[in-house]
Amino acid sequence: MLRRTSLAGVPAGRYAPSPSGDLHVGNLRTALLAWLFARSTGRDFLMRMEDLDDRSAAGADARQLADLAAIGLDWDGPVLYQSSRRSRYDAIVDSLTAAGRTFECFCTRREILDAPRAPHSPEGAYPGTCLRLSPSQLDEKRAVGRPPAIRLRADVGEFRVEDDLHGSYTGVVDDFVLRRGDGTPAYNLAVVVDDAETGVDQVVRGDDLLSSAPRQAYLATLLGFAVPTYAHVPLVVNAAGVRLSKRDGAVTLEDLAVQGVSTQYVVNAMARSLGLAVEGEHATAAAMLTHFDPAALPRQPWVFCP
């Protein structure tokens, strides 16, 4: 079990990219904010590669770390790779299974979308198809040979979290997947286990993940872990107001450099977007830290037009 930071007694924040390609300006700004929140509150700052699924691209981790360092971020201790922790996630799923808190689910994505659901059941929430299979139905499903996903048997329908920027937020908790049919630990499980076991007590990330926080906080509570504080920060969007993506052209440091846009220009623009530098100012992460105030953060998405 990993206990470096918790043993040292130093609480931590973190940035946890999926190494599927180069970080774009939106990712970099979220990382900068996570770093500012952690460092301005005396926390360690941990780096974690969420490399469990097959979207990981060779070398992307090293390029992401180089770009994070290039915008002035630093982190404590070695980078944690989730792929090195699979036996730990399996052990947690097994302990939940032993406690009667999981079930096998044989549904395909299509079956879940097509399943009849109660009138007010939220879009995408698990409709409960495999929850009450009889022993003979279970045998039948197992005999087909497609390995089941393992889902949590949740005993609430929603859960409330407190967010530094959004206040109290109540969101859906369904019988979400803990381990996929192909054996891959699910994001919602790994994130909870890793945050708890590395001493992370402050989660700062994009506000597209706000709706995942109730599931994660509920699971943390079930596992006896403290729930971290949350700050879900506004995303960076393109001129059309849509979340920035690689399709928007030159949005990574490398692509921008090819177009003659320096890393310093990007740091300056990010600092101005956070109200932490004025036009013409040479910004650095370290200087931003001296006057960072979460309460003064702009709550609107930042429009980035490369």
Residues that bind ligand GLU (CB under 6 A): 16-18, 50, 191, 205, 209
Nearer to ligand GLU by C-beta: 191 or 244? 191
Distance (Å, whole) CA 41 – CA 33:
12
Q: How far is the CB of 183 from ligand GLU (least distance, A)?
A: 19
The answer to whether 46 and 200 are in contact (CB under 8 A) is yes
Distance (Å, whole) CA 148 – CA 7:
37
Q: How far is the CB of 50 from ligand GLU (least distance, A)?
A: 4
Q: How far is the CB of 66 from ligand GLU (least distance, A)?
A: 17
Nearer to ligand GLU by C-beta: 18 or 252? 18
Nearer to ligand GLU by C-beta: 5 or 18? 18
Q: How far is the CB of 252 from ligand GLU (least distance, A)?
A: 15
Q: How far is CA 21 from CA 63, 65, 245, 287, 298, in A?
A: 8, 12, 11, 29, 28
Residue with tokens 């630990």: 185
Nearer to ligand GLU by C-beta: 17 or 306? 17
Q: What is the CA radius of gyration of the chain?
A: 21
Nearer to ligand GLU by C-beta: 16 or 271? 16
Tell me, what DSSP letter sits at residue 234? P
Q: How far is the CB of 36 from ligand GLU (least distance, A)?
A: 15
- Report which of 24, 40, 16 is spatially closest to residue 297, judged by C-alpha positions: 40
Q: Mind spelling out the 3-state secondary structure of 12-33?
A: EEEECCCCCCCCEHHHHHHHHH
